[in-house]
Amino acid sequence: MFKKTLFFITLIALFSIQNISAQHHESNNSENTHTESQDAHASSKHDTKKLSLKEQIKADINHHLLDSHSFHVWGPIDFPLPIILWDKGIHFFSSSKFGHHANEVAESNGSYYAISHHNGHIYKTDAAGVINHNEKGLETNEKPLDLSITKSVAMIIITGLIMFLLFGGLAKSYAKNGGIGKGAGRFLEPIVLYIRDEIAIPNIGEKYYKKYMNYLLTVFFFVWFVNLFGLTPIGVNITGNIAITFSLAILTYIITTFTAKKDYWKHIFWMPGVPVPMKIILAPIELLGTFIKPFALMIRLYANMKAGHVVLMSIIGLMFIFKGWLGSSLSFGLAFGLSILELLVAALQAYIFTVLSALYFGSAAEEHADH
């Protein structure tokens, strides 16, 4: 049980490192709309007529779907998260230094940094905050290594802590109560057993399933909890971020590749029972298949979560566009129904990810089976 929790921590640490690309990808179309949303919030406090309803809705949607440097919980409660840059030395400052207006310059240890309009990346600039663009419109300033704690990263860390507490408590209660769990983690025991008995053992086999249980349990509960957090109003869409799902898929790929037995590679490159010309043709296709399977895992989780949230947010926005009471209440009903469906999808996607990972592990760990 303690090995399992240790595995959790390593995994979470790995994810925290991936926040680099996480933030970059999301900032792609976020920061100019994020600054727009900040402007929307700022201006909506002063003058709601300044931004049309559609723009406000768009800003709100982006705020929910995309990553950002501050944790905006409700109205005025807004936690600016730290920005950590590595640029010949570590720079650590709060994102409030960037302010709520676009292109404000933050100064740290003598160098100046500014967030670009286009893609929200942090660039090194001079004191005036000038970001130069080349003829294609791409920024040419130097970019420091961005290790900031963004909203997604903070939420991942919190999820990790929650998992740690839940499962650690459950494990300790087994020792204290002689095999019966007590406390909040009790409800997780049937799920853990289900994963072991219905997912791991049938796919991986009695002999080797234990090695993979750590990862399967971690990934199932992580994806499930993170998806559930995405449905709350705090607006953190973590698995809707392709860098996060990429990390998960890469972990599956690494585990299959590095724990694979000889039979696995034999089945890919020199499959038994097939005439030699076919073997030569099939080998590159099979090799490609080993990459495409985790790739599909990544895309599946990402697209399901992203699309679900986009549709849900759009329908909620629709609620505000309709002027009459009928349209708004119907939209509300639809949004409610869709949220229930999203709950199912949250669990289902976690389950599918786990099942497919177990399938791939099974094919990797398979010993010589008589065909």
Partner 1 sequence: MNGLNFVGAGLIVIGVGIGIGRIGGSAMDAIARQPEATGKIQTAMLIAAALIEGIGFAALFAA
Residues interacting with partner 1, by CB under 8 A?
Answer: 198, 296-297, 299-300, 303-304, 307, 348-349, 351-352, 355-356
From CA 98, how far away is CA 121, in angstroms rounded? 12
Question: Which CB, 107 or 197, lies closer to partner 1?
Answer: 197
Question: Which CB, 51 or 301, lies closer to partner 1?
Answer: 301
Residues 122, 143 contacting (CB under 8 angstroms) = yes
CB of residue 248 vs partner 1: minimum separation in angstroms? 14
Q: Give CB contacts under 8 A, 24+ apart, made by 52-57.
A: 53/320, 53/321, 54/321, 57/317, 57/320, 57/321
Helices (H), 188-324: 189-194, 201-204, 209-230, 242-258, 262-269, 276-321
CB of residue 249 vs partner 1: minimum separation in angstroms? 12
Residues 328, 322 contacting (CB under 8 angstroms) = yes
CB of residue 203 vs partner 1: minimum separation in angstroms? 11
CB of residue 30 vs partner 1: minimum separation in angstroms? 17
Question: Which CB, 143 or 300, lies closer to partner 1?
Answer: 300
Dihedrals φ, ψ of 199, to 5°?
-110, -50
Question: Which CB, 154 or 346, lies closer to partner 1?
Answer: 346
How many beta carbons lie within 10 A of that of residue 281, not counting itself? 10
CB of residue 311 vs partner 1: minimum separation in angstroms? 12
Question: Which CB, 114 or 199, lies closer to partner 1?
Answer: 199
CB of residue 202 vs partner 1: minimum separation in angstroms? 10
CB of residue 353 vs partner 1: minimum separation in angstroms? 9
Question: Which CB, 56 or 237, lies closer to partner 1?
Answer: 237
Residues 96, 70 contacting (CB under 8 angstroms) = yes
Question: Which CB, 157 or 352, lies closer to partner 1?
Answer: 352
From CA 40, how far away is CA 181, in angstroms rounded? 49
- Listed in sequence order, the residues at least 6 apart from 326 whose beta carbon sits closer than 8 Å to its beta carbon are none
- Token readout for 216 is 């399967």
CB of residue 187 vs partner 1: minimum separation in angstroms? 21
Q: Give CB contacts under 8 A, 24+ apart, made by 303-307.
A: 304/345, 304/349, 305/227, 305/230, 305/237, 305/239, 305/240, 305/345, 305/349, 306/65, 306/237, 306/240
Question: Which CB, 303 or 330, lies closer to partner 1?
Answer: 303
